[in-house]
Structure 1
Amino acid sequence: MPLTFTLDPAVTPELRDGILDLWADVSNAGGAVGFVPPVVPEDIRPSLVKHFASMAEGTVRLLVGFDEEGRVAATAFLTLNTHRLMTHWLWLYTVMVHPSHQGKGYGRDLLGAAAEAARGLDGIGAIRLTCRGGLGLERFYESCGYKEVGRIPGAIRVAPGDDRDDVIMLLPLH
């Protein structure tokens, strides 16, 4: 059953807790979303609060995928550029699909919904994201139309002695 995507859903305690649980589950399954396992939702809360503050300021939009039971199953944060020379593209952050839903095409659906949302924003011509090298994520994003446009070797330190490339990907929307 496909996910139902909502751009800018009302931030309720249920949504907040659903995102925290998703983020912890994705992180603990080895997902490259800013944390290294083990984590609990309380470890993630400060990062989510920052996203919510940026949403209140109007610089971030939240895209949520809900499963058939109404649970948070996927998210992406669309972050508008505030630099006056770069307002024609946005960043995609914290792209997550719950581990129990992976392999069902929901990641591709999430990226498609994010592209559709970005196309609906005035003046946006591209989406840019970064991903952690060494996990094969570049191949997935490339299969969704993104192109690798840069790579910073060893920029992400997952653990002492485990440095990964920071891979920059771009999706033109035209």
Structure 2
Amino acid sequence: MALEFTLDPPVDPALRDGILRLWTDVSNADGAVGFVPPVSTEDVRPELVRHLVAMAEGRARLLVGCDEQGDVAAAAFLTHNAHRLMRHWIWLYTVMVHPRHQGKGYGRDLLAEAAGVARGMRGITAIRLTCRGGAGLERFYASCGYKEVGRVPDAIRVSDGDFRDDITMLLPLV
């Protein structure tokens, strides 16, 4: 069954907690969303609050996909670029699909929905995102139309002696 996507949903305690659980579960399943397992909801909460503040200030948008039970199953943040010469593209951040839903095509659905949102935003011609090397994410994003446009070797330190590339991907929308 497909997810039901909502752009800029009202953030009530249930949605906030659903995103917090999603982010924590994805992180603990070794998802590359800014943390290294193990993490607790209290570890993730400050980063979620930063995202919610950006939303409240109009600098970011939230795209949420809920499953048939109404649980948050996928989410991504779309962030406007503040640099006056780069306002024609947006960042896609913290792209997450709950581990229990992986392999169902929900990641592709989430990216397609995000691209549709971006196409509807005046003046936006591309989406950029970054991903952590070493997990095959760049292959997944490439299969969804993104192109690798930059790579910084060993820019991400996952643990002592474990460094990963920081990969920048671009999806042209025109």
**3-state SS of paired residue (2:27):** helix
Q: Which residue of 2 aligns with 1:25?
A: 25
Task: Compute the displacement of 1:128 (Å).
Answer: 0.1
The CA distance in 2 between the partners of 1:67 and 1:112, in whole Å, is 17
CA–CA separation in structure 2 for the residues paired with 1:66 and 1:102: 14
Q: Deviations over 1:18-42 (max 9, x none)?
A: 0000000000000000000001111
Q: Which residue of 1 aligns with 2:125?
A: 125
Aligned-residue CA RMSD (Å): 0.4
Secondary structure in structure 2 of the residue aligned to 1:170: strand
Aligned equivalent of 1:102? 102
Q: Which residue of 2 aligns with 1:152?
A: 152
Q: Say whether 1:35 aligns with 2:35.
A: yes
Percent of pairs with identical residues: 75
Deviation (angstroms), 1:85: 0.3
SS of residue in 2 equivalent to 1:18: helix
Q: Which runs of no fewer than 5 residues in structure 1 stay unpaired?
A: none
Distance 1:149 1:64 in 2: 27
* Post-superposition offset of 1:3: 0.3
Q: Which runs of 5+ in 2 are unaligned?
A: none
Q: Which residue of 1 aligns with 2:9?
A: 9
**What number of residue pairs does the alignment pair up?**
174
Question: What TM-score do you get using the length of structure 2 for normalisation?
Answer: 0.99
SS of equivalent to 2:148: strand
TM-score (norm 1): 0.99
Shift of 1:159: 0.2
Structure 2 residue identity aligned to 1:166: D
- TM-superposition CA deviations, 1:31-63 (whole Å, max 9, x none): 000000001111101000000110011010000
Residue 64 of structure 1 and its aligned partner are, at CA, apart by: 0.2
User: Which amino acid is the alignment partner of residue 158 of structure 1?
Assistant: V
Displaced runs of 4+ in structure 1, greater than 3 A?
Answer: none
Separation of aligned partners in 2, 1:112 and 1:118? 10
Inter-partner Cα distance in structure 2 for 1:26 and 1:161: 23
Q: For 1:69, what is the secondary structure of its paired residue?
A: coil
